[in-house]
Amino acid sequence: MDMKTTNHDTDTFLAQWIEGELSDADFKKLVGDKEFSAYKKIRAGIDVYEQLQKPLDTTYAKVKEKIKHKKSTKTKIIPLYAKIAIAIAASIVLFFSATIFFKTNTIAYASNFGEQKSVLLQDGSEVLLNAKSLLKYNKKDWKYKREVFLDGEAFFKVTKGSTFKVVTNNGSITVLGTQFNINTNPDFFEVVCYQGKVKVHSNNKDFILTPNLSVRSTNGVFEEETLESLPPNPSWVNGESSFRRVPLKQVVLALEKQFNIKFDTSKIDDSIIFTGSFDNTNLNVALASVFETVNIKYTILDKKILLSKEFNEI
């Protein structure tokens, strides 16, 4: 007559097998093929968890010690559901590890305050990032589609080939091979074409730009413009930020990115329109160039600048 294996016996055999005191073949005979397959997965999870926790977690070592003495004592070993929980935890760790690995397919470039960063893409296209800007793309998908994401401002020199697309929070730009500048900020979006042809899609509107043409959206209002005597590159590439009829809010944002400084604009109207430029290398000269032009007083307090009407005293 075959002896029936109790849960108590199974726990003892399981403890011996996990400790290597019982071979796979012997344990399989005791618990059966189906149960053996399940226990193998559990043990794999426990092994992974143990390796991931070394040398930080001593709890698992204590648990193993209790299991080790199970065969000679009546003290309960870890219940089966606890081992399953450990295996699930290990699987979750492996899942997140795989997720992190997948995310490494994204290549990102970020410029710092007052910094320009030059980026060479896989197809030979060149991108120059202005201060505090971000460019990223998926290297795995690059051979199937040339597509990048931009937050901030950048000047592109795209090599000829398949369609090249720049995606921003304000819209997308599609080209084949050309040179163009994109400035994308909250409530402001501008694209200027220097060479070739550019297609801009934003807010369900499409625009085709050829050299010396630009399109911008300020607070959702679009404006197309023909630019005369356009230089080979945007002025910021040569250390000077220039603006044509933009809200002062955008100029303040550009100053913050170039000089890593904050402004208090609560006492002024930052929607007034500004046309002019400032030097990207000298804060005092830049402040005078902007705010004296629009009759706004500025007071420098450590890393913050207070703005007020010229006739008010701070």
Is residue 48 predicted with pLDDT exceeding 70? Answer: no
- β 164-167/172-175 pair status: antiparallel
Name beta bridge partners: 218: 188, 221
Highest mean pLDDT among 54-58, 70-74, 142-146, 170-174: 170-174
pLDDT in tens, 254-299: 999 999 999 999 999 999 999 999 999 999 999 999 999 999 999 9
Closest alpha carbon to 307 in 259, 270, 255? 270
Distances 72 to 7, 22, 26, 75 between C-alpha atoms, Å: 16, 15, 19, 9
DSSP string covering 7-53: HHHHHHHHHHHHTTSS-HHHHHHHH-HHHHHHHHHHHHHHHHHHHHH
The mean pLDDT value for 136-159 works out to 95
Write out the two tokens for 185: 């900020």
- Name, in order, each residue with C-beta under 8 angstroms of 180's C-beta and a sequence gap of 6 or more: 155, 156, 173, 191, 192, 193, 194, 195, 196, 198, 209
Write out the two tokens for 153: 């401002």
C-alpha–C-alpha distance, residues 206 and 191, integer Å = 12
C-alpha–C-alpha distance, residues 144 and 121, integer Å = 14
C-alpha–C-alpha distance, residues 292 and 130, integer Å = 25
The mean pLDDT value for 153-159 works out to 97
- Tell me, what's the pLDDT at 18? 76
Is residue 165 predicted with pLDDT exceeding 60? Answer: yes
Band of pLDDT at residue 309, cut at 50, 70 and 90: confident
Q: Residue 284, SS3?
A: helix
Class of domain 107-238: mainly beta
Is residue 79 predicted with pLDDT exceeding 60? Answer: no
Whole-number average pLDDT of the chain: 82
Tell the CATH topology of 239-314: Phage tail protein beta-alpha-beta fold (3.55.50)
Phi-psi region of 55 (alpha: psi -120 to 50; beta: other; left: phi over 0): alpha
Amino acid (1-letter code) at residue 268: I
DSSP string covering 190-211: EEEEEES-EEEEETTEEEEE-T
What one-character DSSP code corresponds to residue 55?
A: T
pLDDT in tens, 219-235: 999 999 999 888 889 99
Domain ranges of the chain: 7-103, 107-238, 239-314
The mean pLDDT value for 104-128 works out to 95
- Name, in order, each residue with C-beta under 8 angstroms of 191's C-beta and a sequence gap of 6 or more: 173, 180, 181, 182, 183, 198, 200, 207, 209, 214, 215, 216
* Contact (CB, 8 A) for 281 and 239: yes
pTM of the model: 0.66
